[in-house]
Chains A and B, each alone.
Chain A
Amino acid sequence: MNGHLLTFLTFSPLVGVLALLFVPRGQTALIRAIGVLATFVPLVLSLVLYARFAPEGGLQFAEKARWFAIPVGEVAFPIEYELGVDGLSLPLVLLTTIVTAVAAVASMHIRQNLKTYFACFLLLEVGMLGVFTSQNLFLFFLFFELTLIPMFFLISKWGYLEREQAALHFLVYNGVGSALLLLAILTLFVRVGDLSFVRVAEALHQAPIPVLSDTAALVLFGLLLVAFGVKLPLFPFHTWMLRVHVQAPPPVVMLHSGIQLKMGAYGLLRMGVGFFPEVAAKLATFLAAWGLVNVLYGAVLALVQRDLKRVFAYSSISHMGIVLLGLAAMNETGFTGAVFQAVSHGFISALLFLLVGVIWERTGTSTVTEMGGLAKSMPVASGMLLAAAMASLGLPGMSGFLSEFLAFLGLFRVQPVLAAVGAVGIVLAAAYLLRAVLRTTFGPTPQPLAGLRDATAAEVTPMLVLLAFIVLLGVWPAVLGDVLHHAVQTLAAALPGRIGG
């Protein structure tokens, strides 16, 4: 099984889809059970994967099979089915399986068309897992695009009032991102004649005669930056993401904010920095400045939002800016910080949106000014919300602190001024999060909101799981750090003129 563990892992949610096909539409309890259980299979497999992963081993669990070949005249360029994980992708695979399982459990408030919902949900998981496990550009792109279709349905069918608009925005923005990515991939394919991550990187770094001119490398890096910048999202490509976060149903936002944004971060690290370290290093100041814009823009706008969902959406933009800052540091510490931030934000935002869903279920609103005093009627949920906010603003002992600390530490070494300005973002984070959370949980209770039911045990369980991981990362970062170390070292080693952080 070891040989095909990743294939099993990536496609295991399909078993659930198949099972769902044979269940009549009316059997909601059974459908729900299948949907949730089907996400546990990849979860268990990913834990097995983590247990068997050798931290110092580089690329592992690699699988390779001939898929098809594109004939060009007499020769044929093979396109292979290649999977594998290294220290960079393994944490994200785990993040995906955990958050998806939690989001499946949290889908309890979805009541309509449950069968189609879970089918889309599980297909989406296949796509996301595929993005992180594929080891070649073609496969990566395929899964990357594949996530669009179920996501489109999930937003547009089960979302809130303006869901269809949001879904269309999502589709078009991400479609453009994918289109640019495809251009970059094809150019690399034509120039290098190979699609495997490893071999493309080798060809770009080690060829005696450079495969690409400096300009071509710069343009390709730019294409990748925009393609993944849409996904991350970076200002000014972020507007679609606000709509999605406001309009999509909470479990879907958990997947989106928790996992899909990280596909952008992953792509930037794997391809942007992995393929074009020289260009990335040259543009480091620009990247840092861009990251800074995101951090501050997100934070300032989060400060004035009245909708809890929008506060968290802008906070995501701000936090993804920190990923870019860590990346721009161009050293080991910064990269580690960027991945930590990606994983940590995945858990935290999943928790935040889970709570938004729970609150919405009871109050029918997510507007901060319409709420208040929830702590009285819903002490557990309010406590969780406060905890999540604390994690998000970087309270020591939780994952957010460490990730931001690492990212800024990395950046301080090279860009002290920008880093110092960026740190203002952290202060602002405290302000907007506390403003939103305190306003919701304390103060006078508006009449219609009195006597609400607190979160049920079924709702609290997924919260506790997420919180556990947030704390685990905060107090025992080696869980992630050990796995990550080797991969980050490799990335940093390729940078020109630097000895890793």
Chain B
Amino acid sequence: MDEAVKNVLDWNWGAMAPELVILGAATLMTILDLLLPAGRDRRPLAWLGLAGILVAAFLVWRNVQAEPTHILYDMYRVDDFANAFKLVFLAGAAFALLLAVADVGPGGEASSGEKAIRDRGEYFYLLLTGLLGAMMLASAADLIVLFVGLEVLALSSYILVALRRQYLPAVEGAFKYVVNGGIASAITLYGMSFLYGLTGSTNLLAVGEGLRDAYVSGNAYLVYVAFFFLVVGVAFKIAAAPFHMWAPDVYQGAPTPVTAFLAVVSKAAGFALLLRLLLTAFLGLANPLDGSPLLFSELNVYVGAVAAASMIIGNTVALRQTNVKRMMAYSSIAHAGYLLVPFASLTTMVFSQMMFYLVAYLFMTMGAFAVIQLVARDRGSEDLRAFAGLFRRSPLLALAMTLFLLSLAGLPLTAGFIGKFYLFLSAVGREMYALAAIMVLTSVVSFVYYFAVIRQMFLRTGEEGDPGVRVPPTVGTVIALSAAATVLLGLLPDPALDLLAHTFNFSEMFLPLAE
């Protein structure tokens, strides 16, 4: 390096303030958890965490307005791409935290019995460290930082899944998650080693330039190998077929708030990884014969195949599930497939498309898991039949759940419909009709299992004279906010679309930043 080495403290650490706040909150929670007597209620810790998230969200929003910046020679970028994803993570983690409070609260599933969670402090602060990992991942512009973020998120998630120590499915799920996650990390790392080997740099922008040379200088097949390994690693993270096998067991075994966290935050982090890593590194590659970018003409076919497989497998296998959380796991696999469609049919819209759908998905999935959590603890079962007669018992809850399911199915006047419409657009625009057809037709298949829940709620009668489901205020808040957002994004998507198109400047991602 030619220029004088900068003093560590000379960098603009203020840009990292959101992460530092989360880190601080998590540390404080850990220390308080240690100091508090064993019998004391741990729930106030969650409020501390929530306060941290709100402050961090505010700081991220301030970063959106500010110019993009970087720290430590472009290892850590604070650009709008990162900011947008961070906001999704923060919202998802806040919702998961609210659900977790109710989970260990009086009457909660994890408050006593087989499914009890004893380490309640961990329950709350591990959600925060997981969030921290996801946020680092979004900002990472260097393979090392990227991998550290990925691992911080993954390790937190493993423990979170295993929190219900006496509950056998939880142990099974956690074990599968660790093994599968470990393999995925190894594969990702292996893919990254190719990138480093080919380019001699860990900085993503430098990797992108180096790959271009490597590709034309006879190492094309190594570039392909690196791409495949990275896609496999990402596919594990977002639970896309054929690397989805862990998802149903993990989703079923984990406490419902953690399932929601995995379905939303962890999956969104996977998409951040996908875009940041693969776009920055591979976008510059072009076919030497006709100059067409590889990501548009060759590599995208493989991503398209993963998307198609996820949509088909997720939606058809979900048909056979009787456990609602397993069903939601397959539904989330299908959604990973939908979300891959804009990447497979790459256009400049890819960021807004994915972000809009992720936001819609955040609300409908969080809302659905919130209702599932309440029903499961009320009935003591996660079976589809637990929903029988919900409309009679708690009509508002049933209507909210119907809204979330309709949105997941992509029916009109919901966020899911607009989101899916937007996703289709690039597939049709790029004339990838097979992919578009798979997407619409598998969506129809998904009607069947989403409506199976609706059928239970409205058409089956539960036991007569059942009292309504008790809704704790924290879960009530999550459901109300999610329902409002699902309707609002479905009826008036303009502000959100406008925000994505104009306020967030996603192309900052490719900008070489000045010192």
B36 on interface, CB distance cutoff 8 Å: no
8 Å CB interface, B485-509 against A: 492-494, 497-498, 500-501
Chain B residues near A157: list those with CB within 8 A. Answer: 458-459
B406 touches A149 (CB 8 A): yes
B459 touches A69 (CB 8 A): no
Separation of A139 and B437 alpha carbons in the complex (Å) = 21
B352 touches A183 (CB 8 A): no
Separation of A69 and B498 alpha carbons in the complex (Å) = 8
Chain B residues near A164: list those with CB within 8 A. Answer: 455, 459
Q: Nearest-CB distance from A129 to chain B (Å)?
A: 15
Separation of A71 and B494 alpha carbons in the complex (Å) = 10
Contact of A71 among B417, B437, B443, B500 (CB under 8 A): B500
8 Å CB interface, B405-431 against A: 406, 411-413, 417, 421-422, 424-425, 428-429
Chain A residues near B494: list those with CB within 8 A. Answer: 67-69
Chain B residues near A143: list those with CB within 8 A. Answer: 412
B448 touches A142 (CB 8 A): no
B58 on interface, CB distance cutoff 8 Å: no
Name the residue of chain A whose CB is nearest to the CB of B348. A73
Give a binary string over A128-153; 1 marks a CB under 8 Å from any B CB, 0 the rest. Answer: 00000000000001110110110011
A70 touches B422 (CB 8 A): yes
Give a binary string over B452-463; 1 marks a CB under 8 Å from any A CB, 0 the rest. Answer: 000100110000
A212 on interface, CB distance cutoff 8 Å: no
B459 touches A156 (CB 8 A): yes
Separation of A14 and B347 alpha carbons in the complex (Å) = 40
8 Å CB interface, A329-357 against B: none
A156 touches B455 (CB 8 A): yes
B440 on interface, CB distance cutoff 8 Å: yes
B412 touches A72 (CB 8 A): no
A168 on interface, CB distance cutoff 8 Å: yes
B492 touches A68 (CB 8 A): yes
Stretch from A174-182, A394-402, A458-466 forming part of the interface with B: A174-182
Chain B residues near A76: list those with CB within 8 A. Answer: 501
B441 on interface, CB distance cutoff 8 Å: yes
B451 touches A168 (CB 8 A): yes
Chain A residues near B428: list those with CB within 8 A. Answer: 183, 186-187, 189-190
Classify chain A: how many residues form its interface, as a range: 35 or more
Separation of A73 and B425 alpha carbons in the complex (Å) = 13
A186 touches B436 (CB 8 A): yes
A427 on interface, CB distance cutoff 8 Å: no
Chain B residues near A176: list those with CB within 8 A. Answer: 441, 444
A424 on interface, CB distance cutoff 8 Å: no
A182 touches B411 (CB 8 A): no
B455 touches A146 (CB 8 A): no
Chain B residues near A73: list those with CB within 8 A. Answer: 347-349
Separation of A106 and B447 alpha carbons in the complex (Å) = 31
B13 on interface, CB distance cutoff 8 Å: no
Prevailing SS type, chain B contact patch = helix
Chain B residues near A452: list those with CB within 8 A. Answer: none
A420 on interface, CB distance cutoff 8 Å: no
A171 on interface, CB distance cutoff 8 Å: yes
Separation of A409 and B63 alpha carbons in the complex (Å) = 72
Separation of A392 and B444 alpha carbons in the complex (Å) = 35
Separation of A189 and B425 alpha carbons in the complex (Å) = 9
Contact of B497 among A71, A141, A142, A183 (CB under 8 A): A71
A198 on interface, CB distance cutoff 8 Å: no
B11 on interface, CB distance cutoff 8 Å: no
Contact of A69 among B417, B429, B497 (CB under 8 A): B497
A71 touches B411 (CB 8 A): no
Chain B residues near A72: list those with CB within 8 A. Answer: 347-349, 425
A172 on interface, CB distance cutoff 8 Å: yes
8 Å CB interface, A249-268 against B: none
B433 on interface, CB distance cutoff 8 Å: yes
Q: Nearest-CB distance from B315 to chain A (Å)?
A: 12
Give a binary string over A30-67; 1 marks a CB under 8 Å from any B CB, 0 the rest. Answer: 00000000000000000000000000000000000001
Contacts A157-B458, A164-B459; is A71 near B501 (CB within 8 Å)?
A: yes
Q: Nearest-CB distance from B121 to chain A (Å)?
A: 44
Name the residue of chain A whose CB is nearest to the CB of B424. A186
Chain B residues near A116: list those with CB within 8 A. Answer: 391, 458
Separation of A71 and B424 alpha carbons in the complex (Å) = 14
B349 touches A183 (CB 8 A): no
A190 touches B444 (CB 8 A): no
A179 touches B497 (CB 8 A): no
Give a binary string over B117-142; 1 marks a CB under 8 Å from any A CB, 0 the rest. Answer: 00000000000000000000000000
Chain A residues near B498: list those with CB within 8 A. Answer: 69, 71
Q: Nearest-CB distance from B54 to chain A (Å)?
A: 29
Chain A residues near B500: list those with CB within 8 A. Answer: 71
Contact of A175 among B347, B406, B417, B444 (CB under 8 A): B444
Contacts A70-B497, A71-B352, A190-B429; is A153 near B458 (CB within 8 Å)?
A: yes
Q: Nearest-CB distance from A82 to chain B (Å)?
A: 16
Chain A residues near B412: list those with CB within 8 A. Answer: 141-143, 145-146
Give a binary string over B341-365; 1 marks a CB under 8 Å from any A CB, 0 the rest. Answer: 0000001110010000000000000
Contacts A71-B501, A157-B459, A187-B428; is A182 near B440 (CB within 8 Å)?
A: yes
A183 touches B437 (CB 8 A): yes
8 Å CB interface, B369-398 against A: 391
Separation of A69 and B425 alpha carbons in the complex (Å) = 13
Separation of A16 and B440 alpha carbons in the complex (Å) = 34
Q: Nearest-CB distance from B389 to chain A (Å)?
A: 12
Q: Nearest-CB distance from A73 to chain B (Å)?
A: 5
Separation of A164 and B448 alpha carbons in the complex (Å) = 12
A179 touches B424 (CB 8 A): no
Separation of A179 and B441 alpha carbons in the complex (Å) = 6
A145 touches B411 (CB 8 A): yes
Give a binary string over A110-137; 1 marks a CB under 8 Å from any B CB, 0 the rest. Answer: 0000001000000000000000000000
Q: Nearest-CB distance from B493 to chain A (Å)?
A: 5
A171 touches B447 (CB 8 A): yes
Separation of A172 and B433 alpha carbons in the complex (Å) = 21
Chain B residues near A187: list those with CB within 8 A. Answer: 428, 433
8 Å CB interface, B458-473 against A: 458-459
B411 touches A172 (CB 8 A): no
Contact of B493 among A68, A152, A189 (CB under 8 A): A68
Name the residue of chain A whose CB is nearest to the CB of B490. A142
Contacts A71-B501, A186-B428; is A179 near B459 (CB within 8 Å)?
A: no
Q: Nearest-CB distance from A118 to chain B (Å)?
A: 15
Chain B residues near A190: list those with CB within 8 A. Answer: 425, 428-429
Separation of A69 and B348 alpha carbons in the complex (Å) = 16
Contacts A156-B459, A176-B444, A179-B440; is A68 near B497 (CB within 8 Å)?
A: yes
Chain A residues near B444: list those with CB within 8 A. Answer: 172, 175-176, 178-179
Chain B residues near A145: list those with CB within 8 A. Answer: 411-412, 417
8 Å CB interface, A147-204 against B: 148-149, 152-153, 156-157, 164, 168, 171-172, 175-176, 178-180, 182-183, 186-187, 189-190
Name the residue of chain B whose CB is nearest to the CB of A73. B348
Q: Nearest-CB distance from A230 to chain B (Å)?
A: 11
Give a binary string over B317-358; 1 marks a CB under 8 Å from any A CB, 0 the rest. Answer: 000000000000000000000000000000111001000000
Name the residue of chain A whose CB is nearest to the CB of B501. A71
Q: Nearest-CB distance from B475 to chain A (Å)?
A: 23
Chain A residues near B347: list those with CB within 8 A. Answer: 72-73
Listed by A's residue number, 9 A-B pairs whose Cβ atoms lie within 8 Å are: A69-B497, A71-B349, A116-B391, A143-B412, A149-B411, A164-B455, A168-B448, A172-B444, A186-B428
Given A70-B497, A143-B412, A190-B425; 18 other pairs, CB 8 A cutoff? A68-B494, A70-B422, A71-B349, A72-B348, A72-B349, A116-B391, A116-B458, A141-B412, A145-B417, A146-B413, A148-B411, A156-B455, A164-B459, A168-B448, A179-B441, A179-B443, A179-B444, A190-B429
Instruction: Please report B residues at the A interface, Cβ cutoff 8 Å.
Output: 347-349, 352, 391, 406, 411-413, 417, 421-422, 424-425, 428-429, 433, 436-437, 440-441, 443-444, 447-448, 451, 455, 458-459, 492-494, 497-498, 500-501
Closest 3 CB pairs of A and B: A71-B501, A68-B494, A179-B440
